[in-house]
């Protein structure tokens, strides 16, 4: 009950923030611009709209996750509200979990809204509804949960600006880390190979949640892709959350 209360308060605070609505505005702007951009490019207009739409949803969902989590702990400490909360029978684990769930609720509502707008706009432009859209939206949501877990992790020991920068760096790395596999195959020395392999598995691979190519160009989702992505998201996100909890428990407040 205490965790749920903290989660709902976090959700209310997030949707009251003007910057949150600014992100929503720009996301919708790019979604609606996809029609114009599709007319300026060579190829199937609907395919271009799908590609731009899914890319926009993924980017802004992650940016919102990054933004919400960046000052989550710092803001509570700055306002001194964290001391009041923790003075009650609320453990640090409950507090952090409540905050994370609040962010998760916000991101879920956000992807539902933007996803609905995207699919509706696509249908109005003679596109066809596909179940794959819903799967893609769900994977984008899981990706944003991992981004938010990193954002919360950094917020437990740094300022909002540094949390934002660190998490944005992780976001970029997460979308290019799959390229390390090519390097692993080329490395000959055992030590360098195992070191690169360790880095590959430690860094998040956010391309695990990217279905744009499958939806836009291939037309089908590989068997087992979604299950692997969900399991990866749960395990990786949980690991980062528990690391956040460990640091938060050790911090002197």
Least confident of 90-94, 168-172, 201-205, 233-237: 90-94
Tokens of 136: 């893609």
**Segment 176-203 mean pLDDT:** 78
Is residue 221's pLDDT more than 80?
yes
Least confident of 68-72, 179-183, 223-227: 179-183
Residue for token pair 């009251």? 16
Is residue 232's pLDDT more than 80?
yes
Is-above-0.75 flag for pTM? yes
3-state secondary structure string, 175-192? CCHHHHHHHHHHCCCHHH
Tokens of 4: 């749920």
Model confidence at 61, pLDDT cuts 50, 70, 90, reads very high
* pLDDT 10s digits, 84-93: 666 677 678 8
What gap in Å lies between CA 159 and CA 99, rounded to an integer? 17
If we measure between CA atoms, which residue out of 65, 98, 69, 95 comes closest to residue 82? 95
For a pLDDT cut of 90, what percent of the chain falls above it?
38
Q: What is the dihedral of CA 70, 76, 79, 83, to 10 degrees?
A: -160
**pLDDT value, residue 235:** 95
* pLDDT 10s digits, 136-162: 999 999 999 999 999 999 988 888 899
Higher pLDDT, 144 or 49: 144
CA-angle at 61, arms to 59 and 65, nearest 5°: 115
Is residue 76's pLDDT more than 80?
no
Helix (H) or strand (E) holding 193: helix 190-202
Model confidence at 241, pLDDT cuts 50, 70, 90, reads very high
Going 93 to 94 to 100 to 101, the CA torsion angle's sign is: positive
Q: How far is CA 23 from the centre of its chain?
A: 14
- DSSP-derived 3-state class of residue 222: coil
Is residue 106's pLDDT more than 80?
yes
Domain ranges, ordered by start, for the chain: 2-250
If we measure between CA atoms, which residue out of 227, 226, 37, 50 comes closest to residue 128? 50
Is residue 253's pLDDT more than 80?
no
**Segment 164-191 mean pLDDT:** 83
If we measure between CA atoms, which residue out of 68, 212, 213 comes closest to residue 144? 68
């Amino acid at each position: 009950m205490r965790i749920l209360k903290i989660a709902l308060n976090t959700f209310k605070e997030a949707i009251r923030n003007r910057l949150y609505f600014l992100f929503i505005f720009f996301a919708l702007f790019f979604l609606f611009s996809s029609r114009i951009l599709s007319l300026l490019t060579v190829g199937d207009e609907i395919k271009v709209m799908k590609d731009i739409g899914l890319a926009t949803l993924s980017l802004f969902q992650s940016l919102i996750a990054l933004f919400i989590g960046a000052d989550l702990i710092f803001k509570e400490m700055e306002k001194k509200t964290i001391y009041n909360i923790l003075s009650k029978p609320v453990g640090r684990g409950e507090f952090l979990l409540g905050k994370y769930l609040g962010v998760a609720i916000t991101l879920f509502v956000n992807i539902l809204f933007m996803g609905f707008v995207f699919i509706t706009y696509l249908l109005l432009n003679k596109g066809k509804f596909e179940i794959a859209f819903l799967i893609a939206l769900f994977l984008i949501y899981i990706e944003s949960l991992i981004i938010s877990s990193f954002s919360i992790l950094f917020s437990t020991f740094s300022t909002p600006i540094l949390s934002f920068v660190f998490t944005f760096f992780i976001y970029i790395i997460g979308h290019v880390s799959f390229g390390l596999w090519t390097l692993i195959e080329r490395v000959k020395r055992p030590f360098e190979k195992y070191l690169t392999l360790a880095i590959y598995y430690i860094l998040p691979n956010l391309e695990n949640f990217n279905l744009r190519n499958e939806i836009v160009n291939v037309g089908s989702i590989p068997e087992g892709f979604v299950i692997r992505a969900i399991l990866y998201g749960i395990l990786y996100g949980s690991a980062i959350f528990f690391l956040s909890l460990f640091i938060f428990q050790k911090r002197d407040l």
